[in-house]
Structure 1
Amino acid sequence: MKNKIMKALLLLLLALGFPASAAEIIEVSIYADESYPPYSYKENGEAGGIYPAIFSKAFERMQAYKVHIKPVSWKRGLMLMETGQGLALFPPYNRPLERPYLTISEPVLVEQVVAFCSENSMKGRKHPAVWPDDFHGLKVGVNAGFNIGGDKYKKAVKDGKMYEDQAPSNRSNILKLLLGRIDCYVNDRLSILWEIERIKADGVYADSRQAIVEAAVINQEQAYLGYTNRDNGRYPYKVDFMRALNQILIDMKKSGEIQKIVEEVLSK
């Protein structure tokens, strides 16, 4: 009860223009996908990648809050949002029908979704290939919990014209592709290329049974911070937090700071 009173007092003071130091700083946990490099991943127990770098800079400017970024599996993160046990998760796409329990933030980045396939699976097919019409009969890998590929792809899977195989991470799906256990892998282009380079650095790529190629651009997706709307008042500061962060993200995009952060993370 005491914590709730202090949080309510802080929000009142902020609304009246008092500095954050005039009351208790609110501690907030934000969840991050632990298996989506280079955008978001877990390294030595901490969140790393492009989105944690962007949000860490943004959160530093929110003086009323001390924000902790916690990496979790994507499926667990979505469960926390759906049940209202967590405040926010990054980086979901906007899927209002499939994820009605999320309220999205100001868009953060645009990601390009592509299909990488084995050369063998694409022999005799159109080039450039059209997704998903030119991929019928193939087994497609996706990350567990990801809603990706589009409505026509989902219908093709439902009708038995294509086959979906889920794995927990980029690396596991790419290794399946290299070993011929799936025909294609669908995900963000930069994320796939980043992981392929690390697989090569580990000496695994040399043992591949087949070459892989970028076969089709599927679409572009904007990524967000997704807030639960199932918390039933658990986070009384949520509206203030959302409003403050949205303005900071807008300012960071206008100044070019977000793009600079992306370039810095990728250059490491």
Structure 2
Amino acid sequence: MIEDAKDWVRARAGKVLVCSTGTLLALSLLSLVPALLADGSADADSKADQLIVQLQGKQEDAQAALETKHARLLSDLPGMDAERADRDRATARSVLLSLTDSSASSRTVRETQVALDARYGFLGNSSRSLTEFIPEWMAATGAGQGAGTAYQLADFDADVIAVKGLDYAYAGVARLDPVSVDGKPTAKSEYVVFTFATGQDGTVASFEAYRASARTRDQLAAQTPPASASPAPTASPGPGHSG
């Protein structure tokens, strides 16, 4: 199921992000999705820049097209339980916060991996979150060195992308802002794309996270309104937690 979710992110990530960052951001992301989930190249970057320029001249048409695709997607999910989807999102938000809290950890990468693996059994089924995301995230945010950056969740959006029997699959994006010190940002905002799947009882079956590249992050941050002065609320552990 998670492979279906990854395919959906690559094909429709523009829709996922338009819900939380506005029309202009969505237009940019339509061209930036390949760079978001891949290493990218100079040629790909050049093409992305060209597409952004083209799309920015057609904002209304692009927005209408995204809304139409979203409506079509929802129509393909008959019988979706909206209340369950909300509970699943809350659970995933808590998992994401636990993973990204490692940015300010004094633990080593290995100690963090062991602690998260023990807390979330389902990470054993999607080890990329442990073996790829955690090392990259901690290295990029200075964790494990006594001077890591603390982040607060500024924006979170996840959509149902597949319903197979009693199992739901989701894809989404989150923006995390650095906690300010004396009113001054300590670092740049970070963006994380994620996919996850749940069972009928809300248990998380798999969870994957991907950190946006520095180039993509900077472009998104330049088009995102400043975060409010008050910290974003953190979610309490959901039903999919273990430990």
TM-score (norm 2): 0.24
Higher strand fraction (1 or 2): 1
TM-score w.r.t. the length of structure 1 is 0.23
Q: Give the structure with the higher percent helix.
A: 2
